């Protein structure tokens, strides 16, 4: 079964290259690079992490908008080339895939960060409770 799936994948990849959908002609997205930077941020509760996270997310949004313009043919790449008409659909598919991965990564990081903040707040609450108990014990 695995052989059949692998064979179908290889055949479809070769067929796509034959039809001119090969993407090794210089079209390279910067989105995966930014997503990797997001994943590598050291997560600590505090404004420094939030600032770095928000800056990378904003950079990601700008990059996505730039790549949308490029895929639609309204902008050029770094080398001054416009995406060929026969590659626009493929360009948008790759952009969609990268965009979905970025959204998933951002969601997971935000969810994890909320857990870090929550644990930090619980620790502070426990400290307050311990101090309050000790103050009560000393006063009576």
Rounded CA separation 128/6 (Å): 59
H-type helices in 2-139, by residue range?
A: 2-18, 31-40, 47-72, 88-139
Q: What is the pLDDT along the chain (140 residues), one digit of tens a residue?
A: 444 444 444 444 443 433 333 444 556 899 999 999 999 999 988 899 999 999 999 999 999 999 999 999 998 888 888 989 999 999 999 999 999 999 999 999 999 999 999 999 999 999 999 999 999 999 98
Give pTM, 2 decimals.
Answer: 0.71
Q: What is the DSSP letter of 29?
A: -
* Domain spans in the chain, listed from the N-terminal domain onward: 27-139
Nearest CA to 14 out of 4, 26, 6, 22 is that of 22
Rounded CA separation 97/124 (Å): 41
């Amino acid at each position: 079964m695995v052989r059949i799936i692998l064979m179908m994948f290889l055949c479809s990849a070769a067929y796509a290259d034959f039809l001119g959908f090969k993407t090794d002609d210089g079209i390279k997205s910067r989105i995966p690079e930014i997503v990797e930077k997001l994943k590598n941020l050291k997560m600590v509760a505090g404004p420094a992490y939030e600032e770095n996270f928000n800056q990378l997310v904003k950079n990601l949004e700008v990059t996505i908008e730039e790549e949308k313009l490029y895929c639609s043919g309204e902008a050029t790449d770094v080398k001054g080339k416009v995406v060929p008409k026969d590659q626009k659909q493929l360009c948008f598919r790759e952009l969609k895939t990268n965009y979905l991965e970025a959204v998933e990564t951002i969601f997971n990081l935000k969810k994890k960060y909320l857990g870090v903040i929550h644990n930090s707040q619980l620790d502070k609450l426990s400290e307050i409770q311990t101090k309050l108990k000790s103050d009560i014990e000393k006063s009576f």
